[in-house]
Amino acid sequence: MRKSKKSMHKRLFFLIFASTLVVSGLLIYVSNNAQAASHTAVSDTLSRLQSSQSADHTITFTLASAWNATETVVIDFADGDGWDTTGFANTEAEDYDIKWGAAEKTIVAQGSCAADSIEITTVNTTTDTFTFTLCSGSTASGANEVIEIQIGENATTGGSGNDQIENATGTGSKKIIITGPTSGDSASLAVPIMDSDQVTVSATVDPTITSDLTPGAAPYTCSLGTLDNGAVNGCEITNTVSTNAASGYNSTIVENGNLCSPSVAVCTYWIADTVGGTIAAGEEEYGVSTTDTNATGITADYDGVACGGATENGSAITGIAQVYADETAAIASDATTLCHAASITATTEAGSYSHVTTHITTGNF
Amino acid sequence: MNKTLSKLIIAFIILFSSVTGVLAFSSNSETYKLEGEFGMFGGAKSSETYKMTDTGGGFAVGFGSSANYGTGSGFQYVIAEVREIIFTISSNSVDLESLSTTPKGVPNIITVTTNGAGGYKVSVVEDDNLCTSGTDCITDVSGGTVDPSTEEYGLGTSKSGQYFAEDSDCPNSPFNATAIDNQVRQVASADAPIDNDQTTLCYEAAITGTTPAGSYSHVLTYIATGTF
């Protein structure tokens, strides 16, 4: 009886020892022979990388083995990183595009599987996991096909996507895991979530404007010469303006008094201001015309040649500033020529006539 | 039974002798302390159709990161290279200041660290042209360079082979640049894992005497993608 008990203990020890060896061997065998494969060329291009910012995703990877009918691909945004997939559902096929090769696959809601379609099997907005199933009866992908999965507003096939995934709340390298379609196949990738993914570029263009009268040098003069009742005498003065004022500029002319003799201060005689828009030989008239044909103050147009002659267009110069040149946009070297013109009658008093005109150019920035 | 037991013991010894042992370590000083571990098994295995390494029994393995670093703990993280990509922009504001007829360039540096086997690419897209709040905009550069007395604005990159013109001497002449538009365009890349890979982006502009005065701005969005 005692011998039998001892033998039983030996057998029990042997069985436990042998079982331990077998289990350990199996574990080691498994650890040395795991055959899981990884997808390659795995990436996810986001439309925005800023933390907590809504973004579209374009996930691509080269399959380790074919995607066969009824097999699933799971996209898992790592828990704890603060991804927010609220708004996505397995009933909203418009938010997803999936393709391999050139052709986009037909995406269908859960429960609507048909051959050669991909079903949105589940969307778990708690674990931020998307599961896609190649429907039964579908043609399998190639063994090393490049899969592209778009999630968000960048999905356009079968309707425009109207949801986006809100990025992880923290910054740094964030992990996304892909499992399937073949059992054991998987891949992981990372995306760089940032505190700011944008750069604001700014520049300033300072306001500038120049105005220069020609010909000659300051103080500028415009001599009408000896007036004659048989002709219209004239002289030119040109104002050249450059400005980057967005709304352009205007130039005005104003006189200190009439064209007087012996002076404006002691104006014994003066040449009458023109009326009617034209200065004709033999009539006592004085005025000015401008090459800016749409000027609002000095409306008499000057053709830019032969200031004077038998007749000349003219508007009266007054003590009120009148616009003789204007532009509505920035402009460079914009030259406007004024033609001062006068004629007299046989009874116009002899004398030396003069007055001073002032040019004012204003930019409209 | 004794013979059977002997055979099993021999088989056990042979079986475990194929497994490389994992050495533990520990070290410390006044300023640091390293924790060691005792792995149960680990090593490299291969055949004609696969290669793999494994460890078992380690503790505190995992991945951690902040805005400027990523780290993996544990033998397999070191060996297998946990997926990681870090992207930084040196400044989120680039001021070209007062423009003139003489071209100018302002540098800004982007930096990428990734262990992606296929490297990375960085792309940029604008929200609109460089404009005032009204309708005035600086003309996009054409012809590959920002030229004197010409209203032009564009972007150059120190990296070759990108969509944007290569400019390796920002902010000096020549001002090689390409127009930025509303399409996502590649500005930097690498085709292998890389550490602290810096790219100098050069924002370049010049104006004419008639470029409307005003304050111009636009917003660029940068997108970095690792390929693993």
Residue B191: predicted pLDDT: 97
> How far does the CA of residue B158 sit from the closest CA of chain A (Å)?
18
Nearest of A87, A76, A93, A60 to residue A164 by alpha carbon = A87
CB A351 within 8 A of CB A268: yes
Q: What is the pLDDT along chain A (365 residues), one digit of tens a residue?
A: 444 555 666 666 556 655 555 545 444 444 444 456 899 999 999 999 999 999 999 999 999 999 999 999 999 999 899 999 999 999 999 999 999 999 899 999 999 999 999 999 999 999 999 999 999 999 999 999 999 999 999 999 999 999 999 999 999 999 999 999 999 999 999 999 999 999 999 999 999 999 999 999 999 999 999 999 999 999 999 999 999 999 999 999 999 999 999 999 999 999 999 999 999 999 999 999 999 999 999 999 999 999 999 999 999 999 999 999 999 999 999 999 999 999 999 999 999 999 999 999 999 99
Residue A354: predicted pLDDT: 98
Q: Mutate which of A200, A204, A205 to test chain B, going by most B C-beta atoms within 10 A?
A: A205
| pLDDT tens digits for range B16-38 | 444 433 444 444 455 444 444 54
Q: Mutate which of A29, A76, A169, A199 to test chain B, going by most B C-beta atoms within 10 A?
A: A199
Nearest of B83, B94, B84 to residue B222 by alpha carbon = B94
Q: Per-residue DSSP letters for A112-172?
A: ---TTEEEEEEEETTTTEEEEEEPTTPPPPPTTPEEEEEESTT--TTS-----EEPPSS-E
Please give the Cα distance from A160 to A92 (Å, whole number): 10
Contacts of B91 in chain A (CB under 8 A): 199
Structural domains present in chain B:
3-16+85-226 (2.60.40), 23-80 (no CATH)
Write a three-state SS string for B81-113: CCCCEEEEECCCEEEEEECCCCCEEEEEEEEEE
Give Cβ neighbours of residue B139 (< 8 Å, ≥ 6 apart).
B151, B152, B153
Residue B18: predicted pLDDT: 44
Contact state of A245 with B56 under an 8 Å Cβ cutoff: no
CB B131 within 8 A of CB B211: no
What is the tally of helices (H) and strands (E) in chain A?
1, 25
Residue B21: predicted pLDDT: 38
Query: Is residue B224 predicted with pLDDT exceeding 60?
Result: yes
Contact state of B215 with A202 under an 8 Å Cβ cutoff: yes
| pLDDT tens digits for range B155-192 | 999 999 999 999 999 999 999 999 999 999 999 999 99
* Contacts A–B by Cβ distance under 8 A: 202
Nearest of A174, A95, A87 to residue A132 by alpha carbon = A95
Nearest of A358, A353, A361, A360 to residue A256 by alpha carbon = A358
Give Cβ neighbours of residue A34 (< 8 Å, ≥ 6 apart).
B52
CB A280 within 8 A of CB A311: yes
Contacts of A64 in chain B (CB under 8 A): none
Nearest to A199 among B216, B222, B223 (CB): B222
CB A121 within 8 A of CB A110: yes
> How far does the CA of residue B30 sit from the closest CA of chain A (Å)?
31
Please give the Cα distance from A279 to A314 (Å, whole number): 6
Encoding tokens for residue A333?
């070297």
Contact state of B218 with A199 under an 8 Å Cβ cutoff: no
| pLDDT tens digits for range B45-56 | 556 555 455 665
Contact state of B85 with A191 under an 8 Å Cβ cutoff: yes
Residue A17: predicted pLDDT: 58
* Mean predicted lDDT score pLDDT of chain B: 81
| pTM for this model (two decimals) | 0.77
A178 and chain B in contact, CB less than 8 A: no
The gap from C-alpha B201 to its chain's centroid, in whole angstroms, comes to 15
Phi, psi of B101 (to 5 degrees): -75, -15
Contact state of B221 with A48 under an 8 Å Cβ cutoff: yes
Contacts of A32 in chain B (CB under 8 A): 18, 45, 54
Query: Is residue B9 predicted with pLDDT exceeding 70?
Result: no
Contacts of B54 in chain A (CB under 8 A): 31-32
Which band of pLDDT confidence, cut at 50, 70 and 90, is reported for residue B74? Answer: low
